[in-house]
């Protein structure tokens, strides 16, 4: 007989670290994700995650903490993306086919070489799918600080980001340096992706970035509320995922916990699906003319 | 002193001379249409006035002061309100009409803003000025084209500009919304003494309210009071083929002839 909240749960050091880092990751991803979706930059988020995979596996190969690998590769990728304009449609196709493929290929090589050297497969798993239960306590301050910095950048840019998501020209006409704002935002996005990569793995980090925000955008209609709901949804998925993963130690096969990232991503998906089953009538009030005139075309 | 003066403006884009020697001026409360075929350079001209394109020659004066001189930008920023061309706002954007209007107050500044009574009143007033108060709390992406256009005009209006620039505000609107937007803009020019400068490829919906026409074609622009420009001879020459100016029920219509 056991309980969902096992007696030892909250007294375990790794679990407390996981809950703290999980909270930072969920809130950062949730808030920044809302802007990512509004700016139509989900693709950028995913590309950063792919390149972060390379950075994380490179860090593993040379024996550095994975977070620094994720972070350096993510920020560098953000700079390159800005410079070559990957965000434009044509650039996207080329980037997907050539650059991101090559990045993941390099990650495969690094992980293979690293595994040969250390004779352990655990590291490949933690680069790709996260390592929230084995975060070393001395990286926690860096993780928390990175999350806070990314959130501060977005808080300072919040109004300008909203205006540019309505129309970059409106912002330009008011003297906003739209390009500079885009660069700063992309850097914050790279930090947020690196944090999510630590928690649920580089290849899954986009799920925590886009999933809760997409859910929030469906059920709220102001930017502030969207950010609050998105952060909360991410937090619930992450914390519940951690608790379930801890609990799964007692699930078959006995004595081996299931991966946290599985639970988090599954819960994110459930949240998103739930946003569809809300009764239609309770949704955001629509235009009084809806059905009479359709799209602005 | 005119509110806006363009003096000998020339624009080169990508090595091509797009506009040359464009000269006209606008008085306070004037309703002016920049009319011309698609691709004639109407948007370019508006972007020059906004300071988004640096002209290759000539100068733009706002209230008698050069637009592009450093240090004046801040003042000019709120002197001109702008409604860009063909904005399509995604229905999933978590922005109500009132949020978009509120961004007109300080959306270009760093930081974030909290709701306040004063802000709400300013937003409500701007929405009422354009007759958009009925859908202030609706998601802007779910509004019709004409409704979105009103919200964007309110966004431009809330910073109390002296000049309102609109890029093809009547494009993609049905006849009724088109007429409603023209009425709203005419009212802003008459009652609030805001100069309205808009671009359009069709002058017909504007003939009842437009004081002046700036006609752009083949890289050049000619301007004059609507009554003087809108004659069969003038327009035939500008369009390059025969055009009739007819009067129906007290309204003037421009019709392409054979």
Taking only the tens place, the pLDDT of each residue in B238-247 is 777 788 888 7
User: Is there a contact between A221 and B92 if contact means CB atoms under 8 Å apart?
Assistant: no
Give the C-alpha separation, B249 to B72, whole Å.
48
Angstrom distance (rounded) from CA A119 to CA B221: 76
What is the percent of chain B where pLDDT is above 70?
95
Query: B73: which chain A residues are within 8 Å (Cβ-Cβ)?
Result: 175
Mutate to test the interface with A, among B82, B107, B110, B150 (most CBs of A within 10 A): B107
Rounded to the nearest integer, the mean pLDDT of chain B is: 85
Tokens for B89? Answer: 């706002």
At B51, is the pLDDT very low, low, confident or very high (cuts 50, 70, 90)? confident
Closest Cβ opposite residue B148 in set A173, A223, A296: A296
Of A172, A223, A292, the CB nearest to B94: A223
- Beta strand B220-225 with B243-248 is unpaired
**Domain housing B237:** 4-87+161-256
Is B111's CB within 8 Å of A158's CB? yes
Q: Which of A214-228, A280-294, B31-45, B219-233 has the lowest mean pLDDT?
A: A280-294
Chain B residues touching A297 at Cβ < 8 A: 145, 172
What is the crossing angle of helices A205-219 and A223-247, to 10°?
A: 130
**Is A162's CB within 8 Å of B103's CB?**
yes
Percent helix / strand / coil, chain B, rounded to 5: 35, 30, 35
Name every chain A residue with its beta carbon within 8 A of the beta carbon of B148: 296
Cα separation, B116 vs A42, whole angstroms: 33
Does residue B42 sit within a domain? yes
Polymer length of chain B: 258
Rg (CA), chain A: 20
Q: Is the pLDDT of residue B21 over 60?
A: yes
Q: What is the pLDDT of residues B131-173, one digit of tens each?
A: 899 999 999 989 988 899 999 999 999 988 889 999 999 988 8
Q: Which of A162, A169, A167, A295 is nearest to B43 (CA)?
A: A169
pLDDT digits 0-9 by tens, B81-111: 899 987 878 888 889 999 999 999 888 888 8
Q: What's residue B209's pLDDT?
A: 87
Are B126 and B159 in contact, with CB atoms under 8 Å apart? no
Backbone angles phi, psi at A287, to 5 degrees: -60, 140
Question: What are the chain B neighbours of A294 within 8 Å (beta carbons)?
Answer: 144
Tallying the residues shown for chain A, one arrives at 297
CB atoms within 10 A of CB B115: 12
Q: Are B173 and B8 in contact (CB under 8 A)?
A: no
The reply to whether B152 falls in a domain is: no
Q: Which CATH number is A12-275 given? A: 1.10.3470.10
The CATH number for B52's domain is 3.40.50.300
The answer to whether B24 touches B6, Cβ cutoff 8 Å, is yes
Per the CB < 8 A criterion, the answer to whether B60 and B49 are in contact is yes
Q: What is the pLDDT of residue A26?
A: 95
pLDDT of residue B80: 87
The pLDDT assigned to A119 comes to 60
Q: Domain-by-domain residue ranges, chain A?
A: 12-275
Say yes or no for a CB contact (<8 Å) between A155 and B112. yes
Beta carbon pairs, A and B, within 8 Å: 122
How far apart CA A131 and CA A108 sit, in angstroms, is 18
- Please identify every stretch of chain A with a pLDDT value under 50, giving residue numbers as ranges: 1, 281-297
Of the residues A170, A172, A178, A223, the best mutation for testing chain B's interface (the one with the most B CB atoms within 10 Å of its CB) is: A170
- For residue A295, what is the nearest residue in chain B, using CA coordinates? B144
B104 occurs within a structural domain: no
B139 in any annotated domain: no
Which residue from B163, B42, B72, B132 is spatially nearest to A175, judged by alpha carbons?
Answer: B72
The answer to whether the CB of B200 falls within 8 A of the CB of B206 is: yes
- B39 is a domain residue: yes
Task: Identify the pLDDT of residue B53.
Answer: 87
The DSSP letter of residue B52 is S
Q: What six digits make up the tokens of B199?
A: 């671009």
By the 8 A CB rule, do B33 and B203 touch? yes
DSSP B64: T
Judge whether B101 lies within some domain: no
**A167 contacts chain B (CB < 8 A):** yes
Please spell the DSSP secondary structure of chain A, one letter per residue. Answer: ---SS-TTGGG-HHHHHHHHHHHHHHHHHHHHHHHHHHTT-HHHHHHHHHHHHHHHHHHHHHT--HHHHHHHHHHHHHHHHHHHTTTSHHHHHHIIIIIIHHHHHHHHHHHHHHHHHH--SHHHHHHHH--GGG--GGGHHHHHHHHHHHHHHHHHHHHHHHHHHH-HHHHHHTT--HHHHHHHHHHHHHHHHHHHHHHH-GGGHHHHHHHHHHHHHHH--SHHHHHHHHHHHHHHHHHHHHHHHHHGGGSSSTT-PPPHHHHHHHHHHHHHHHHHHS-GGGSPP--TTBTTB-S--
Across the interface, whether the CB atoms of B108 and A159 are under 8 A apart is answered yes
Query: Is B15 inside a domain boundary?
Result: yes
φ/ψ of B213, rounded to 5, equals -120, 135
CA dist B60 and B8 (Å) reads 9
Q: Is the dihedral of CA B147, B149, B151, B157 positive or negative?
A: negative
Q: Does A171 touch chain B (CB under 8 A)?
A: yes
Q: Given the DSSP bridges, would you call strands B251-256 and B243-248 parallel, antiparallel or unpaired?
A: antiparallel
Other C-beta atoms lying within 10 Å of the C-beta of residue A83: 9
Query: Residue B149 domain-assigned?
Result: no
Task: Give the count of domains, chain B.
Answer: 1
3-state secondary structure of B212: strand
Looking at chain A, which residue has its C-alpha nearest residue B48?
A173
A176 to B138: CB separation less than 8 angstroms, yes or no: no
Burial class (CB in 10 A: 0-12, 13-18, 19+), B90: middle
pTM, full prediction? 0.85
Evaluated on CA atoms B185, B189, B194, B199, the torsion sign reads positive
- Assign residue B249 a region: left if phi > 0, alpha if psi is -120 to 50, beta otherwise? left
Considering only CA atoms, give the Rg of chain B: 19
Pairing state between β B16-26 and B31-35: unpaired
Q: What are phi and psi of A160, to 5 degrees?
A: -65, -40
ipTM of the complex: 0.87
């Amino acid at each position: 007989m056991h309980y969902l909240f096992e007696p030892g749960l909250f007294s375990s050091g790794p679990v407390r670290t996981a809950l703290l880092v999980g909270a930072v990751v969920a809130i950062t991803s949730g808030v920044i994700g809302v802007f990512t979706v509004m700016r139509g930059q989900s693709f950028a988020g995913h590309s950063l995650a792919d390149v972060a995979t390379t950075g994380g596996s490179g860090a593993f190969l040379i024996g550095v903490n994975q977070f620094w690998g994720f972070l350096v590769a993510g920020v560098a990728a953000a700079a390159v993306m800005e410079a070559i304009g990957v965000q434009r449609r044509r650039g996207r196709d080329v980037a997907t086919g050539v650059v991101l493929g090559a990045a993941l290929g390099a990650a495969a090589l690094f992980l293979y070489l690293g595994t040969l050297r250390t004779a352990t497969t655990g590291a490949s798993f933690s680069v790709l799918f996260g390592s929230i239960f084995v975060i070393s306590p001395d990286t926690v301050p860096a993780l928390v600080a990175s999350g806070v910095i990314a959130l501060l950048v977005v808080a300072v840019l919040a109004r300008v980001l909203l205006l540019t998501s309505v129309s970059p020209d409106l912002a330009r006409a008011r003297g906003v340096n739209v390009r500079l704002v885009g660069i700063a935002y992309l850097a914050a996005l790279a930090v947020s992706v690196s944090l999510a990569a630590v928690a649920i793995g580089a290849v899954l980090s986009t799920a925590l970035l886009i999933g809760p925000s997409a859910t929030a955008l469906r059920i709220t209609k102001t930017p502030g509320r969207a950010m609050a709901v998105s952060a909360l949804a991410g937090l619930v998925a992450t914390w519940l995922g951690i608790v379930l993963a801890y609990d799964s130690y007692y699930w078959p096969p006995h004595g081996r916990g299931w991966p946290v990232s599985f639970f988090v991503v599954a819960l994110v998906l459930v949240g998103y699906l739930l946003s569809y089953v809300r009764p239609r009538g309770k949704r955001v009030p629509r235009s009084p003319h809806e059905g009479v005139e359709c799209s602005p075309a | 002193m005119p509110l806006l003066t363009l003096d000998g403006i020339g624009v080169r884009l990508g090595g091509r001379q797009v506009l040359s020697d464009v000269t006209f001026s606008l008085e306070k409360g004037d309703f002016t249409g920049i009319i011309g075929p698609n691709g004639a350079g109407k948007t370019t001209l508006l972007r020059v006035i906004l300071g988004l394109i640096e002209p290759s020659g000539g100068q733009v004066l706002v209230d008698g002061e050069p637009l592009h001189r450093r240090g004046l930008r801040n003042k000019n920023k709120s002197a001109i309100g702008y409604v860009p061309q063909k904005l399509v706002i995604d229905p999933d954007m978590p922005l109500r009409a009132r949020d978009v209007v509120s961004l007109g107050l300080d959306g270009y500044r760093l930081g974030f803003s909290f709701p306040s009574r004063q802000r709400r009143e300013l937003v409500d007033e701007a929405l009422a000025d354009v007759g958009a108060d009925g859908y202030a709390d609706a998601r802007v992406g779910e509004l019709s084209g004409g409704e979105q256009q009103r919200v964007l005009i309110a966004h431009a209006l809330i910073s109390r500009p002296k000049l309102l620039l609109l890029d093809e505000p009547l494009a993609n609107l049905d006849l009724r919304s088109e007429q409603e937007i023209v009425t709203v803009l005419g009212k802003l020019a008459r009652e609030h003494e805001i100069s309205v400068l808009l671009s359009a490829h069709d002058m017909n919906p504007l003939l009842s309210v437009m004081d002046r026409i700036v006609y752009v074609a083949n890289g050049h622009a000619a301007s004059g009071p609507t009554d003087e420009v809108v004659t069969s001879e003038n327009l035939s020459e500008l369009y390059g083929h025969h055009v009739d100016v007819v009067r129906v029920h007290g309204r003037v219509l421009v019709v392409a002839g054979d």
